[in-house]
Chain A
Amino acid sequence: MNTESIAVAEMDAREPSQRLIYRHTLPIRIMHWINVIALSLMLFSGLQIFNAHPSLYWGNRSDKGKELLTLGARQDSAGHLVGTTRIGSHVFTTTGVLGVSKGSDGTPEVRGFPSWLTVPGPAWLAMGRRWHFFFAWVFVLNGLCYVGYSLARRHLQRDLWPTRTDWRGIGHSILDHIRFKHPHGEEALRYNILQRLAYLTVIFVFGVGIVLMGLAMSPRMDAVLSPLVEAVGGRQSARTIHFIIAWAFVAFVLIHVFEVLISGVFNQLRGMITGYYKVDTGKVDIVKPDETISAEERSHD
């Protein structure tokens, strides 16, 4: 027996318990990666725009002294620039990252967010706005396509909307997440209750909210949206909420990527790139896309 046949034998021993499932359809995969690009560039260009006036307020006016948050700078006794982050009346020194950071020429400069987090890198508001509004359209159109497709294919109703059983398992699901325990086998194919709630919140609260708050900052749209603008407290409130939701998206992405990393990164990536996801139980066979769908449809009819 040579080494090759040993390897085959070992695989044979393992293979029967694994199955490739066609999990993510091509449109979902394409829209997912478009969203990755759009969200990243919206964040980077959004921080460039924020840097033009790195303060947040509540209400309709930007009154001096009423800032909720300010990324600022001062000089210390030696004349060096010190970056500061002021939240309410609390001031933190954040030199190097917020308030003061190295510019493209390597010398410290006064700027809200650092150049490695803004598009464009240097202070360039006009270009930042071009990027932001271009990818805002990509984000919105991609999002509408996603919701339309998911409704039509019942992805939203079937995979994301929580069932009564899902709700009952919420305590269990929270414990599993805290313990970093991930379901294997068939169970891994279903989104658990926390995933469902997270995805629904991100799509319908964060996604819809950030677009509406963006529109609420547009003076032309405010001619028709002023009830919404006033309902959230004013244009500056809308700007503040827009900023907070942007960071909520970042928090979601960090958790999402973390979960992907600890639940089998290669399998998850393959799932979102090729569509095929491997589960541990079942017999050796590759379920073809159309077979999966017809099987799913049968089970729901």
Chain B
Amino acid sequence: MTDRRSFLRIAIMGTASLIVAGCDRISQSDWGPKVLNKAEGLNRRVQALLSPSSAMAKEYTEADISSVFHPNGTTMPNTPAYQALMANQFRDYKLRVDGMVSRPAMLSIDDLKKIDTRTQITRHDCVEGWSAIGKWQGTLLSAVLDHVGADPQARFVVFHCFDDMDVNTPYYESVDVGEARHPQTLLAFALNDKPLPVPNGAPLRLRVGRQLGYKQAKYLSRIEVVKSFDAIGGGKGGYWEDQGYEWYAGI
């Protein structure tokens, strides 16, 4: 009986190992990921059809807010530029907005507060699988784009960040103009009625209501309006995208 059982165990583990090893070879080949990546475009197109660009992420109540909003990724940027701003409680902070805009601007948090602001309680879904709910207060990105006169020909908005992920590899992210102009896309300066804490991205982070956590860039230093992000970073539209994650983070 034990012989039969261990035979069965070895047979199952052996078969599984063979499949896994075969798949690993495909994952490391040139063609494998290209084929598998076809699903991303399909996901993006079909989800846009089923869930229109105007559809809103669910907003929750005060009672739903997570007692601790788990900070992930960088929790303390160590670049000198960021450290200097932090030492002065971000009083000298200015967000640079440029690229395909008619009026490039340097906006302080106070400047941003004077543009159209919103407060919303939304859920944050990490690509790892966990979720947290927070109350975000911020400026409507769409209003900021109008403020600087974004070129209608532009296709993407790129977010440059203060935190270095590797040596001289700052975090960055991008969304298309449709997502950037969604009424739940905010440049958030407050979390749960308090100025944004450093682990959560002080003084300013992106909040996109309908995409995964890695899109919600923290420690924003600059917003660039572009036609293409091919020449930025690794060319895939974001730090994690350059590491193989999908640019379309709606699933």
Residues of chain A touching chain B, judged by Cβ–Cβ distance below 8 Å, are 40-41, 44, 49-50, 52-53, 55, 57, 60-64, 115-122, 124-127, 129-131, 133-134, 136-137, 217-226, 229-230, 234-236, 239
Contacts and interface: CB of A to CB of B under 8 A. Distances in A.
A45 to B, nearest CB: 8
B129 interface: yes
Interface stretch (B99-107, B119-127, B138-146): B119-127
Interface string B106-136: 0000000000000000010111111111000
A49 B129 contact: yes
Given A61-B132, A124-B27, 9 more contacts: A53-B128, A116-B17, A120-B23, A127-B244, A133-B40, A133-B251, A217-B251, A220-B251, A224-B52
Given A62-B132, A133-B43, A221 B123 contact: no
Contact of A53 (B35, B126, B244): B126
B27 A120 contact: yes
A130 B33 contact: yes
A220 B27 contact: no
B133 to A, nearest CB: 6
Contacts of A235: 123, 125, 131
Contact of A120 (B24, B52, B130): B24
A78 B51 CA distance: 54
A235 B68 CA distance: 18
Given A118-B20, A126-B243, A130-B39, A219 B212 contact: yes
Contacts of A230: 58
Contacts of B132: 61-62
B218 to A, nearest CB: 18
B123 A60 contact: yes
A130 B250 contact: no
A-B pairs with the 7 shortest C-beta distances? A220-B250, A223-B55, A62-B130, A126-B244, A53-B129, A218-B251, A52-B128
A50 B67 CA distance: 24
A221 B51 contact: yes
B55 A44 contact: no
B27 to A, nearest CB: 5
Given A61-B66, A235-B123, A220 B211 contact: yes
Nearest to A220: B250
B39 A134 contact: yes
A122 B131 CA distance: 24
